[in-house]
Structure 1
Amino acid sequence: MTDIEVPDGLDIVDRVTDAFFALDGTWRFVYLNDRATEMLDPSGRGLLGEVIWDVFPETAYTPFPTQFHGAMDEQKPVAFETFYNPLETWFEVRAYPAEDGLSVYLRDITERKRQESEANQHATIVEAVHDGVITLDDGNEITYVNRAVEATLGVPRERLVGKHVSALPRIATIDSESADTMDEVLDELRGGDQTEERLEVTFEMADESTRVGEIRMVPIPGTNTDSVAGVIRDVTDRHDYERVVTSLHDVTRHLFQAETRDEICAVAVHTASELLDLPISGVWLLDEGRDRLTPVAATAGAHDVVGGLPQFGRDEGLIWDAFLSGESALYDDLKENEGKYNPETPIRSELIVPVGDHGVLMTGARTVGAFDERDRELAEILAANTALELDRTEREQLLSERETTLDQQTERLRTLETLLDDHAGEAIRTALDGLDGLDGLDGEQAAELRSALATADRIVGDATELSAGRATLGSRTFIDVSEAVDAARERVAADETVPVSDVSAAVVEDATLRADRDRLVRLFETLFRWSEAGSTADARVGMLAEAEARSVADGGYPGGIYVERTGATPECVEAVTDPEADGPIGPAIAREIAQAHGWTLVAAETHDGTLRFELSEITTLEPAGE
């Protein structure tokens, strides 16, 4: 190869950052600057004097030959971009012809092409997404919108791009308040430390329906300006769902106002029809006696479509599967399900939701796939609220029945009181008065009969007091326990009708408490007089907190007092004050008096076998001397 003459003036291109090389009229390299050598001859083999098509034969499959020959033939500059596979490089090529050769500039644009490719991909994605995308410059003018924004607002992008956000109410039917808010949020996003701002806007769609959009706005990364991108998502359905859920909870008030289960179910189906847009709905409740699910309430649409609403015996139809499982069931097409109750049903879609253990809410539609998970969730909320109110009515009915029973029992007790007090008591008193007129009885017989009648009169009085619940209290005052005990002991000792001959009552620790004095004395009296006939009632009274022998009744002593009855040994200690047991009448009266004061009276047995009455929960009890 002979020496190649380098064209004059080409030494300046050594300082050019682009690759540059020169070809003579026979397509041989006559010059390469440093960048061209680095790019095209990295191995250093030397390209000067070599024919470009021989050194780079792969260029035959690129625009290089066509473009270079065209430039030389027409003596006109050419510019083009191409990818050269052996170098895995995108080139921007500019060729300048002369009569004796060609000057070529190469620029590596691989990175630019990669960015453009990514941008094109992103643009394709942005155009394809359902959410609207909008970009704004630092002056809050719109620079881009995707197809979703066009479709949502019904405005071509040409009318939106270049417009200030304040023009949106006029162009795109976004309400003016939302546009003003958007303007303010954009300024806050640029001026503050926030990396994201969200706002909601109200707008009209092309079909004139009003929608709500949520816009998430973020700064565009990689830019030197305050450009912002916004993603607009239609949240109207979410708002509607939240509104319906809130309304469903408000329905609870109407359900609560219903007094019967039929009224509750009527409110439920009305709500399903009007609020949830489920016009073919009904509620079936369990008839436990007949083991059937029977219709209680239904919409007019259900009656129109189904006609007479059926009753479902156990395991008849799909309704029982949902009821027994406690899980809602959604059927897109009943014709494909062999378990349906009526093979000829006009219903194609069906949604069955259990109403607790009361029954089911069932709704249907004439079309296939009419319900979705949103319908299921809302129906479940309605069914749950309905179940709570049905539980309430059951409790109220049970309480009403109990109140009726208590009223009947009270009436019977009043009748017993009348019989005991007015009739039996009067008869006994008449007999006592008549004893003085009997001449055939000696003194001892008359005394025995008089004592028996007096005892019967006292028993009648006790029974009357207990049956009538005469534990109502008068005014309360502070009284010493020892004073009440002494007064009770004197009453028992003076009462010839009680089975004790005397009372020995020792107050071990005295105390003061606030009580109805007469009823407190009566309480101690009824506890003291209970004993075997002719015996002495031995009693010890003290503070529970100071008791030496811990009782078996509890693991600790609350504030209160005790009355120990030495020698009194009933067969069952717990039955002495048990209201359900047939125990002695005296302690039963004492229990009623204690309860009227807000105290608790129980009978227990100490470790040494002593019967102890424990009177606890006396909040006003204070030890004597304090």
Structure 2
Amino acid sequence: MGDPIRVLHVDDDPEFADLVSTVLERDEGQFDVEAATGAAEALDRLAEADFDAVVSDYEMPGRNGLELLEAVREDHPALPFILYTGRGSEALASEAVSAGVTDYLQKGRGTSQFDVLANRVRNAVEQYHSRRDLERTEALLEAAGDAVYALDLDGVLTTVNETLVEWTGYSREDLVGSHASLVLGEADIDRGREAVRELLETDREVVQFEGTLHTADGGTIPTEARVTLLEEDGTVQGSTGVLRDIAQRKERERELERYESIFEELEDAVYVLDEDETIVYVNSSYASMKGVDRSELVGDPITEWADDETVSLAREVREELRDGERNVGVVENVFNVTDGGTIPAELRLINITRDGGVERVGVIRDITNRKKYERRLEALSETAQELMAATSREEVARLGAETARDVLGLDANGVHLYDEEEDALVPVAATDEGEDLVAELPAFSGEDSIAWRVYQRGEPLAVDDVHADPDIYNPDSPVRGELYLPVGEYGILIACSPTPESFDQRDVVLGEILAGSIATALEQVERTEQLREREQELTRQNERLEEFAGVVSHDLRNPLNVAQGRVELAREETGNDHLEDAAEALDRSQTLIDDLLALAREGASTGEREPVALPDLLEACWATVETGDGTLRVETDLTVSADESRLRQLFENLVRNAVEHGSTSPGSQARQDTVEHGGEAVTVTVGDLEGGFYVEDDGSGIPPEERDSVFDPGHSTSEEGTGFGLAIVREIANAHGWSVRVTEGAAGGARFEFTGLGDP
């Protein structure tokens, strides 16, 4: 029993729809009915699933049955559509037929109406399938690359395809109805009759023979005919044949012969499959790989000679080739060989379309050496990491020599590094095999040695026989083949062999990679040593700086404090104005010492960082600095990650700078006028900036030509300033990893912008 007929029943009465489904499906396996209550639902189901027929009521809410038919025909022009309605009239029946319904049936009483409905649906679907199969057959016939024909029992052509029309040059009207002798010679007519007789008298289904097709212009086409009987209801009605152009096949055979002569010279294994994955050709390398005669391979499915995994991978690639995703497919896998072992191999696949068919060509290449090469590259990569971890030139040289032996197979080798004092390439490390072959490793210098010459030129050199080179270091040496690999400016790696021509291009390439890694490692060791020396020098400088700071802090501050005290006492006793100037000079010296110590001891360093809320810190800083009638405007609620004490020092210095330089009063009176005499008071504003914050005042500002130098130690435009306040600001910003720049504020004063703060 075949698949059930899938019916979409459209009726707005659910009870009646359920009854129809129940009755039609009572004969299990014949019908599969799905109900829809209206046209909209029916169209949705047709878009989602395949049905063999639609049975629809006429009167329904929204679209009626004929309106549904019109919508169905847009996407399903041939789908059987039966109008099954309770409203019956000749007018409706006529309208339904005109609209293109497959059948029209009026609802009745009892279950007998459903038997009629089942027969109508079954007949409509059978006709629909038959018509579709016929259309497919005709389409295949016309799409065939070979010429196809059918003859009745009298030898008259009843069917021809487009290919036969094109080949012969006759029209379809000329051919159909004409005797086969129009395009076939008498000998071929006789062969055709004999073929039909043989098919009738034997169990053979196909008879094949070669013949000649005659064209309208008097030409001929050599063909191969495959003839079979044409039967209908068990009665022979004639014969049908497929003609294939033998000229094309012969040319293909000649090409194949040429290809075979080429393939036979290849070391790679080559095979060709037909569309059924049957082997049609293998070269001698493929047969040798399998250990059998090629005649045992040709005609067998490839699956009998390849493992399941390889077949599966190849099929996946074949699908991609067929879909046009690529032109050549590549599969890497392990292949079985004659002795039962395996080899890593690369399978390259290509599809070739010939005469309407597809041939599948495969080329198998042994990639054992390539895999070894790849493993060596991986090992070199791992060794490079070990080399970079080395801490001395000697360790790098030792690791380099061991890698050349263990990874590259350059057993006898040594590393010579340049020694500036000796002006020579001095041996630093060698393998045991190298020391055995060369009893005493020499140092190379001057232009009279191959090693020195290669080192100077910086290019690798593989010498087939060093005894043929006039610059050989030791004419009595047992060494014959040598490989010289420059290690940058640092030295050279030399591999030796007692056999001439021991090193190939692959050894050179891999050796260059190793030599490059050794050079990089030596450069890092050199750089590390320089950094270590620099660190030691910085440590010594810091110690001297700390000693200096101690002297300044103790030995200079104490006498200064004494001088300040004595001057104060003298002022109280005498009231001499000169003493007031002296006191101011001593105060300035004290401030200068404090700033110098801040730079010297703290510099570009910070303590432990923590989240600091700027509004609270700014209020605290403002309270500790003499600001007179100045005003602080905090327009930020930013929290930053910082050393709070150093950040406080940064803001205090910026506030002092604003007070000292922000007033419009001239010269050294700026701060004094602002603080003591009610000069034009400064306003300091702190606000948000993308990636940071800004501090600006509304004073006289900083001229553009001085903005690059205001952070330099000692730079000041005020007689009372030390010139170190903004230098300290920059040091604190740098210590936190921030950037600071000065520009003009909104009111024309100085604006300091701090960016690069990151998250708190």
1:248 maps to 2:384: no
What is the match of residue 711 of structure 2? 577
Q: How does 1:18-167 map to 2 (within 5 A)?
A: 118-136=255-273, 142=279, 144-157=281-294, 160=297, 165=302
Amino acid in the other structure paired with 2:537: T
Q: Distance in 2 between matches of 1:326 and 1:224?
A: 60
Q: How does 1:394-473 map to 2 (within 5 A)?
A: 394-429=526-561, 444=576, 454-469=587-602, 472=606
Q: How does 1:186-205 map to 2 (within 5 A)?
A: 193=322, 198-203=330-335
Q: 1:365 aligns with which of 497, 509, 517?
A: 497
What is the match of residue 181 of structure 1? 309
Cα deviation, residue 328, structure 1? 2.5
Cα deviation, residue 468, structure 1? 0.9
User: Gapped runs of 5+ residues in structure 2?
Assistant: 1-184, 190-245, 675-680, 717-721
Q: Distance in 2 between matches of 1:563 and 1:599?
A: 21
Amino acid in the other structure paired with 1:589: I
Which stretch has the larger CA shift, 298-307 or 438-447? 438-447
Q: Is the contact between residue 484 and residue 521 of structure 1 (CA under 8 Å) also seen in structure 2?
A: no
What is the match of residue 303 of structure 1? 435
Q: What are the Cα deviations for residues 25-57 of structure 1, in whole angstroms up to 9, with x where unaligned? A: xxxxxxxxxxxxxxxxxxxxxxxxxxxxxxxxx
Q: Cα gap change, 1:296/1:389 in structure 2, threshold over 3 Å: closer, same or farther? A: same
SS of equivalent residue, structure 2 residue 503:
coil
Q: Distance in 2 between matches of 1:422 and 1:484?
A: 30
Q: Distance in 2 between matches of 1:218 and 1:162?
A: 20
What is the match of residue 286 of structure 1? 418
Amino acid in the other structure paired with 1:585: F
SS of equivalent residue, structure 1 residue 363:
strand
SS of equivalent residue, structure 1 residue 313:
coil
Q: Distance in 2 between matches of 1:321 and 1:398?
A: 29
| TM-score of the aligned structures, taking structure 2 as reference length | 0.52
SS of equivalent residue, structure 1 residue 368:
coil
Q: Is the contact between residue 601 and residue 614 of structure 1 (CA under 8 Å) also seen in structure 2?
A: no
Q: Cα gap change, 1:395/1:605 in structure 2, threshold over 3 Å: closer, same or farther? A: farther
Q: Distance in 2 between matches of 1:221 and 1:534?
A: 98
Cα deviation, residue 249, structure 1? 1.6
User: Which of structures 1 and 2 has the larger relative contact order (alpha carbons within 8 angstroms, sep 6+)?
Assistant: 1
Q: Cα gap change, 1:451/1:112 in structure 2, threshold over 3 Å: closer, same or farther? A: closer
Q: How does 1:471-620 map to 2 (within 5 A)?
A: 472=606, 476-479=612-615, 487=623, 490=626, 511-512=635-636, 518-524=648-654, 527=657, 535-537=669-671, 560-562=694-696, 574-578=708-712, 584-596=723-735, 599-601=738-740, 615-618=752-755
Cα deviation, residue 122, structure 1? 3.4
Cα deviation, residue 268, structure 1? 2.0
SS of equivalent residue, structure 1 residue 577:
coil
| TM-score of the aligned structures, taking structure 1 as reference length | 0.62
Q: Distance in 2 between matches of 1:315 and 1:604?
A: 62
SS of equivalent residue, structure 1 residue 376:
helix
Q: Is the contact between residue 318 and residue 340 of structure 1 (CA under 8 Å) also seen in structure 2?
A: yes
Cα deviation, residue 254, structure 1? 1.7
Amino acid in the other structure paired with 1:308: E
Q: Distance in 2 between matches of 1:190 and 1:518?
A: 73
Q: Is the contact between residue 577 and residue 603 of structure 1 (CA under 8 Å) also seen in structure 2?
A: no
Q: Distance in 1 between matches of 2:715 and 2:426?
A: 44
Q: Is the contact between residue 529 and residue 586 of structure 1 (CA under 8 Å) also seen in structure 2?
A: no
Amino acid in the other structure paired with 1:479: P
Cα deviation, residue 146, structure 1? 2.8
What is the match of residue 59 of structure 2? none
Q: Distance in 1 between matches of 2:606 and 2:328?
A: 71
Q: Is the contact between residue 625 and residue 656 of structure 2 (CA under 8 Å) also seen in structure 1?
A: no
User: Gapped runs of 5+ residues in structure 1?
Assistant: 1-13, 19-108, 169-177, 492-502, 546-557, 621-626
What is the match of residue 138 of structure 2? none
Cα deviation, residue 273, structure 1? 0.8
Q: Cα gap change, 1:513/1:293 in structure 2, threshold over 3 Å: closer, same or farther? A: farther
Q: Cα gap change, 1:602/1:564 in structure 2, threshold over 3 Å: closer, same or farther? A: farther
Q: Cα gap change, 1:619/1:563 in structure 2, threshold over 3 Å: closer, same or farther? A: farther
What is the match of residue 380 of structure 1? 512
What is the match of residue 274 of structure 1? 406
Cα deviation, residue 342, structure 1? 3.9
Cα deviation, residue 482, structure 1? 9.3
Cα deviation, residue 128, structure 1? 2.2
SS of equivalent residue, structure 2 residue 712:
coil
1:214 maps to 2:346: yes
Which stretch has the larger CA shift, 395-404 or 374-383? 395-404
Q: Is the contact between residue 314 and residue 331 of structure 2 (CA under 8 Å) also seen in structure 1?
A: no
Q: Is the contact between residue 602 and residue 613 of structure 1 (CA under 8 Å) also seen in structure 2?
A: no
Q: Is the contact between residue 454 and residue 486 of structure 2 (CA under 8 Å) also seen in structure 1?
A: yes
Q: What are the Cα deviations for residues 383-437 of structure 1, in whole angstroms up to 9, with x where unaligned? A: 2233333333333333333332332222223323333334433454466667899
Cα deviation, residue 241, structure 1? 1.6
Q: Is the contact between residue 598 and residue 617 of structure 1 (CA under 8 Å) also seen in structure 2?
A: no
Cα deviation, residue 262, structure 1? 2.5
Q: Is the contact between residue 204 and residue 211 of structure 1 (CA under 8 Å) also seen in structure 2?
A: yes
Q: Cα gap change, 1:368/1:438 in structure 2, threshold over 3 Å: closer, same or farther? A: same
Q: Distance in 1 between matches of 2:593 and 2:466?
A: 74
Task: Provide the identity percentage.
Answer: 29
1:334 maps to 2:471: no
Which stretch has the larger CA shift, 418-427 or 511-520? 511-520
Q: Is the contact between residue 212 and residue 235 of structure 1 (CA under 8 Å) also seen in structure 2?
A: yes
Which stretch has the larger CA shift, 190-199 or 389-398? 190-199
Q: Is the contact between residue 510 and residue 543 of structure 1 (CA under 8 Å) also seen in structure 2?
A: yes
Cα deviation, residue 592, structure 1? 2.7
Q: Distance in 2 between matches of 1:410 and 1:425?
A: 21
Aligned residues: 487
Q: Distance in 1 between matches of 2:754 and 2:310?
A: 67
Cα deviation, residue 129, structure 1? 1.8
Which stretch has the larger CA shift, 361-370 or 191-200? 191-200
Amino acid in the other structure paired with 2:309: T
Amino acid in the other structure paired with 2:460: S
Which stretch has the larger CA shift, 227-236 or 517-526? 517-526
Q: Distance in 2 between matches of 1:189 and 1:437?
A: 103
Q: Is the contact between residue 348 and residue 363 of structure 2 (CA under 8 Å) also seen in structure 1?
A: yes
Q: Distance in 2 between matches of 1:306 and 1:524?
A: 73
